[in-house]
């Protein structure tokens, strides 16, 4: 009997140690960069991988430390619209071929300012706007339809500050004036703007109307993700419904766009992603093999130069230029996610100053997708 009681006590002790004792330990991980250039980006670690190494982790009481610098890193618990945690996001700055060692340990984390943000803007005719510490964008809602201001594509708001400025700009209402942090001078019109996508049937773009529903899935500090849904519209021989999920990471010039088209045909549906082209000459790069479409716009008076680019991880059909737009043709399958990247930069932000800089950025971005940073747990 005494032996049984002793075993029960020992078992209880070991159980408590496994839960509470492990919560006091450190978990080490190493980030490896084999790409040949320095990289600063947000990495995604499945939360299940964290729990496997740190089952007693207190989600409100842990921090992440750069072991070499003894500095604390910004992180985010990503939910993707669900109640359970899906991923741990960490912003890392890793030199080429120089592994970075991190630790996850118990402790109250510092409060870092958010670097990404999105919101529905009912006071400005149903805009949906989003930004990070580099650039800002918006798309248009139902209230703008049938007006002279309506546009089909993605709009760009250029920035020259790392601060989040959307709310300030909407409050001022002076979008076309640079108050020292950038402005809205990008013209979209009835085009795809800065990388929007639409069905392309019989060599004609079949634009949807503006979005009808929105949902924010995560809102910073390192990644903002939201969903826009569009009402059914007619294309020749079919009807289409679109759900689009867009995410923007801190430090990135490009959005990740996941488009899900639903239609009745069993065959893939042709689509195009496009960038509006200006009347004056700019610098264009259409690299079908690499899946990169790049446009360095002409100078816009005193406003500077906007660069726009799209990256396609999956093979595309072709790239071309018409009177209004740069276009990339590809196909989507019924109810199957199609992922690509689109975004912009501004020369007056002082980082990407020339067309060659923009093309290099896009080439590295594509290679970063193909060769993600390696996360190794110890």
Where is the domain boundary, 80, 112, 144?
A: 112
Cα separation, 20 vs 22, in Å, equals 5
Cα separation, 158 vs 59, in Å, equals 36
- Please report whether residue 204 resides in a domain: yes
Cα separation, 77 vs 289, in Å, equals 36
Residues 266 and 186 in one domain: yes
Tell me the per-residue pLDDT of 32-69, one tens digit each, with 9 for 90 and over.
999 999 999 999 999 999 999 999 999 999 999 999 99
Range of the domain at 89: 24-112
CB 16, CB 24: distance < 8 Å = no
- Please report whether residue 343 resides in a domain: yes
Cα–Cα nearest to 73, from 249, 248, 222: 222
- Please report whether residue 15 resides in a domain: no
- Please report whether residue 291 resides in a domain: yes
State the CATH number of the domain containing residue 158: 2.70.98
Domains contained in the chain, number? 2
Residues 64 and 168 in one domain: no
- Please report whether residue 375 resides in a domain: no
Q: Please list the pLDDT of the chain residue by residue as tens digits (378 residues).
A: 444 333 333 344 334 334 434 445 799 999 999 999 999 999 999 999 999 999 999 999 999 999 999 999 999 999 999 999 999 999 999 999 999 999 999 999 999 999 999 999 999 999 999 999 999 999 999 888 888 888 889 999 999 999 999 999 999 999 899 999 999 999 999 999 999 999 999 999 999 999 999 999 999 999 999 999 999 999 999 999 999 999 999 999 999 999 999 999 999 999 999 999 999 989 999 999 999 999 999 999 999 999 999 999 999 999 999 999 999 999 999 999 999 999 999 999 999 999 999 999 999 999 999 999 999 998
- Please report whether residue 5 resides in a domain: no
State the CATH number of the domain containing residue 106: 2.60.40.1180
- Sort strands 338-346 and 254-262 into parallel, antiparallel or unpaired: antiparallel
- Please report whether residue 7 resides in a domain: no
Residues 59 and 142 in one domain: no
Residues 65 and 191 in one domain: no
Residue count of the chain: 378
Residues 315 and 182 in one domain: yes
- Please report whether residue 6 resides in a domain: no
């Amino acid at each position: 009997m005494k032996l049984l009681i002793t075993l029960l006590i020992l078992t209880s002790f070991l159980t408590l140690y496994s839960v509470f004792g492990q919560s006091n330990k450190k978990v080490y991980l190493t980030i490896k960069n084999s790409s040949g250039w320095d990289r600063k980006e947000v990495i995604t670690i499945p939360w299940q991988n964290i729990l496997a190494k740190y089952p007693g982790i207190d989600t409100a009481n842990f921090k992440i430390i750069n072991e070499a610098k003894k500095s604390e890193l910004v992180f985010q618990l990503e939910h993707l619209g669900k109640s359970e945690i899906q991923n741990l996001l960490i912003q890392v700055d890793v030199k080429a071929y120089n592994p970075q060692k991190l630790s996850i340990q118990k402790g109250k984390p510092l409060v870092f300012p958010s670097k990404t943000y999105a919101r529905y803007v009912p006071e400005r005719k149903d805009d949906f706007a989003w930004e990070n510490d580099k650039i800002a964008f918006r798309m248009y809602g139902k209230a703008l339809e049938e007006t002279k201001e309506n546009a089909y594509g993605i709009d760009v708001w250029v920035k020259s500050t790392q601060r989040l400025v959307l709310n300030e700009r909407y409050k001022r209402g002076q979008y076309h004036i640079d108050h020292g942090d950038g402005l809205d001078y990008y013209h979209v019109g009835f085009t795809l703007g800065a990388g929007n996508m639409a069905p392309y049937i019989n060599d004609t773009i079949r634009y949807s109307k503006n979005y009808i529903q929105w949902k924010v899935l995560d809102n910073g500090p390192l990644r903002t993700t939201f969903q826009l849904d569009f009402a059914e519209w007619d294309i020749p021989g079919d009807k289409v419904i679109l759900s689009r999920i867009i995410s923007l990471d801190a430090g990135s010039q490009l959005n990740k766009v996941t488009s899900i088209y639903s239609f009745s045909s069993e065959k893939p549906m042709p689509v195009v992603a496009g960038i509006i082209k200006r009347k004056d000459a700019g610098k264009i790069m259409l690299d079908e093999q690499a899946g990169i479409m790049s446009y360095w716009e002409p100078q816009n008076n005193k406003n500077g130069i906007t660069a726009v680019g799209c990256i396609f991880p999956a093979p595309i059909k072709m790239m071309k230029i018409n009177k209004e737009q740069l276009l990339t043709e590809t196909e989507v399958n019924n109810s199957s996610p199609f992922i690509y990247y689109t975004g912009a930069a501004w020369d007056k932000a002082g980082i990407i100053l020339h067309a060659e800089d923009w093309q290099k950025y896009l080439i590295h971005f594509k290679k970063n997708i193909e060769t993600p940073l390696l996360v190794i747990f110890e």
